[in-house]
Amino acid sequence: MKAQAGPPEIARVCERIESLGYKAHIIPGEQRTAIGITGNSGPLDAADFEDLPGVAEAIRVSKPYKLVSRETKRENTTVRVLDVPVGGDEIVLCGGPCSVEGREQILEAARAVRAAGGQLLRGGAYKPRTSPYSFQGLGEQGLRYLAEAREETGLGIVTEAVDVETFDLVEAYADCVQIGARNMQNFSLLRRAGRSRKPVLLKRGMSSTLEEFLMAAEYILAEGNYNVILCERGVRTFADHTRNTLDLSVVPAVQNLSHLPIIVDPSHGTGKRDKIAPMSLAAIAAGASGLIVEVHPMPERALSDGAQSLDPKQFGELAEDCRALAELLTMRRRLAKLPVTV
């Protein structure tokens, strides 16, 4: 739509789309609103829409993912988690333990994240574990502790929903619902997340291609939830010096193809504490909109993923380095704009 198009023009376009038997998706942007059309089995005639008032252009989306595509919406999407914009100019830091293990543990982690200048708190109350005998999470009690940590620190909560059965409960407490790597192609869960009013953090499956990743996000948008944050968390390769191979090139690749923000998880992406800081800085340099890092008050005692968790001091140092790097990158962007004087 044209920048000056208002609700009546938008409504008129939606009516036209629906009268033809298709589904209209209003995707708001800072400058302009995009209206996506799905439900058509073949190409549509642009002329059916271009004559309506307020329409700037009708674009045929060539990619199999429609609503997540940059062809549908050119400008970047900013997703608000509580009141934190993800995908804007500022880099967002989300920290917290792999699992919520108890009241004190999550409160301490939250205070550490807050003290370091982080904006969001992570922590799983429902855990997707490789072994059924491993700690599975505290369930609703864990969600209550997260809510208490939010109450005290003001940090927005990112927590995982592992199945459709527990989605309602997780959604009620979370500020952002995480869909984990193992569930990236759990289509009923993706559809449920698409019907949620909460933003969704979608992690890349451990062997998924870029197209499969974007198609998974498409499931969520297709149901009407346009607040999706993508997360690169490493893919499985032959390399065995790390748990996964962090595929940072997917950051600019996603940004080319999609308007959705992408953040990076250097904890799962490497599995090794000493690799978290360098890969975090690399992720920011690559253009990621933020980081999600495992932080535990006592990593050596963690019930899950201790080896890839930072302690509060390390997270504080990382946050400082991230800040310094972000400023440097901003400076470089400014330098490029200096007029040439000969």
What distance, in Å, lies between the first and last C-alpha atoms of the chain?
43
Q: How far is the CB of 185 from Mn ion (least distance, A)?
A: 19
Positions 221 through 240 that interact with ligand PEP (CB under 6 A): 233
Given 3-state DSSP classes, what are the helix, strand and coil percentages for the chain, each rounded to the nearest 5?
40, 15, 45
Q: How far is the CB of 124 from Mn ion (least distance, A)?
A: 7
Which of 25, 66, 203, 243: binder of ligand PEP (CB under 6 A)? 203
**CA 187, 205, 202 angle in degrees (round to 5)?**
65
Positions 64 through 123 that interact with ligand PEP (CB under 6 A): 98
Q: How far is the CB of 302 from ligand PEP (least distance, A)?
A: 11
181 touching ligand PEP, by CB under 6 A:
yes
Nearer to ligand PEP, 33 or 244 (CB): 244
**CA 122, 127, 130 angle in degrees (round to 5)?**
130
* 49-54, long-range: CB < 8 A, 24+ apart: 49/13, 49/16, 49/17, 52/9, 52/12, 52/13, 52/16, 53/5, 53/9, 53/12, 54/1, 54/2, 54/4, 54/5, 54/6, 54/9, 54/10, 54/12, 54/13
Stretch that binds ligand PEP, among 45-53, 176-184, 251-259, 310-318 (CB under 6 A): 176-184
Residues 149, 209: Cα–Cα separation, whole Å: 36
Three-class DSSP labels, 101-161:
CCHHHHHHHHHHHHHHCCCEEECECCCCCCCCCCCCCCCHHHHHHHHHHHHHHCCEEEEEC
Stretch that binds ligand PEP, among 52-60, 61-69, 112-120, 180-188 (CB under 6 A): 180-188
158 touching ligand PEP, by CB under 6 A:
no
Number of residues that bind ligand PEP (CB under 6 A): 9
Q: Are 261 and 230 in contact (CB under 8 A)?
A: yes
Q: How far is the CB of 304 from ligand PEP (least distance, A)?
A: 7
98 touching Mn ion, by CB under 5 A:
yes
101 touching Mn ion, by CB under 5 A:
no
The secondary structure of residue 235, as a DSSP letter, is: B
275 touching ligand PEP, by CB under 6 A:
no
Computed over its alpha carbons, how large is the radius of gyration of the chain? 21
150 touching ligand PEP, by CB under 6 A:
no
128 touching ligand PEP, by CB under 6 A:
yes
Stretch that binds ligand PEP, among 56-64, 77-85, 179-187, 328-336 (CB under 6 A): 179-187
- Among Mn ion, ligand PEP, none, residue 101 binds (CB under 5-8 Å by kind): none
- Among Mn ion, ligand PEP, none, residue 171 binds (CB under 5-8 Å by kind): none
Which of 66, 73, 150, 268: binder of ligand PEP (CB under 6 A)? 268
Burial class (CB in 10 A: 0-12, 13-18, 19+), 311: middle
Residue of minimal CB distance from ligand PEP?
A: 180
Rule CB under 6 A: which residues touch ligand PEP?
A: 98, 124, 128, 180-182, 203, 233, 268
For Mn ion, the binding residues (CB under 5 A) are 98, 305
